[in-house]
Structure 1
Amino acid sequence: MSTFDDREAAFEAKFAHDEEMKFKAEARANKKLGLWAAELLGKSGADAEAYAKTVIAADFEEAGHDDVIRKVVGDLGDKADEQTIRAKRREALAEAKEEMATEA
């Protein structure tokens, strides 16, 4: 293998790793958002975990995280507005990235 091929393979491996970490951070943030929303809905324990899984699954409906926001906005009704939910998700994503960085 040439030096160019080695560099290309390394770049591709780094890209794949970075995308995997991004996916995991997004899923972790969605779980955190789901647990927060579950608490507002009065859920706890296994019910809260089950609800958080539905929030994670909602992220597979379309690209981006607007599908997650729509789900949580719809589920929470007047318990939290969209702006609050978006802020909470940004906070959850920052926490998830920080946690993953310290775990690595």
Structure 2
Amino acid sequence: MSGFDDREKAHENRYAREQELEFKAGARRNRLLGLWAAEKLGLSGDEADAYAKEVIAADFEEVGDEDVFRKVRADFDAKGVAVSDIELRHEMTRLLDVARTQVQAG
């Protein structure tokens, strides 16, 4: 293998690793978001864990975060939870940063 091929393979491996870490961080963010939202919805224990799993599953409906946002937003609206769209999006961003740190730490 030439030096160019070695560099290309290394780049592909790094990209694959970054994508894997980002996927794990996204899933962890969704779990953290689900637990945060569950608390706002008055859920605890097994109910909170089950809700967090629903939030994680919502992320597989389409590419991006809008499916997760819509799920939590709809649940908040249905239960009359007073959280603005801005606050919800801010929490999603904050928890993604937390999740990335946790994933990188192992």
Hey, which bits of structure 1, 4+ residues long, moved more than 6 A?
Answer: none
* Amino acid of the structure 2 residue aligned with 1:45: G
| C-alpha distance in structure 2 between counterparts of 1:30 and 1:81, whole Å | 18
Residue of structure 2 in register with 1:52 after alignment? 52
Instruction: Indicate whether 1:17 and 2:17 are aligned.
Output: yes
| C-alpha distance in structure 1 between counterparts of 2:105 and 2:18, whole Å | 16
* Amino acid of the structure 2 residue aligned with 1:93: L
Count of residues paired in the alignment: 103
**1:11 match: secondary structure:** helix
**2:61 match: secondary structure:** coil
| C-alpha distance in structure 2 between counterparts of 1:14 and 1:98, whole Å | 18
* Amino acid of the structure 2 residue aligned with 1:3: G
Q: Deviations over 1:19-68 (max 9, x none)?
A: 00011111111111100111111111111111001101111111110110
| C-alpha distance in structure 2 between counterparts of 1:57 and 1:95, whole Å | 20
Residue of structure 2 in register with 1:43 after alignment? 43
**Matching residue within 95, 98, 101 for 2:98:** 95
C-alpha displacement at 1:81, in angstroms? 2.1
TM-score by length of 2: 0.91
Which one is further off, 14-23 or 76-85? 76-85
| C-alpha distance in structure 1 between counterparts of 2:58 and 2:85, whole Å | 16
Which one is further off, 4-13 or 93-102? 93-102
**Aligned sequence identity (%):** 50
* Amino acid of the structure 2 residue aligned with 1:51: Y
Which blocks of at least 5 consecutive residues in structure 2 are unaligned?
none
C-alpha displacement at 1:100, in angstroms? 2.1
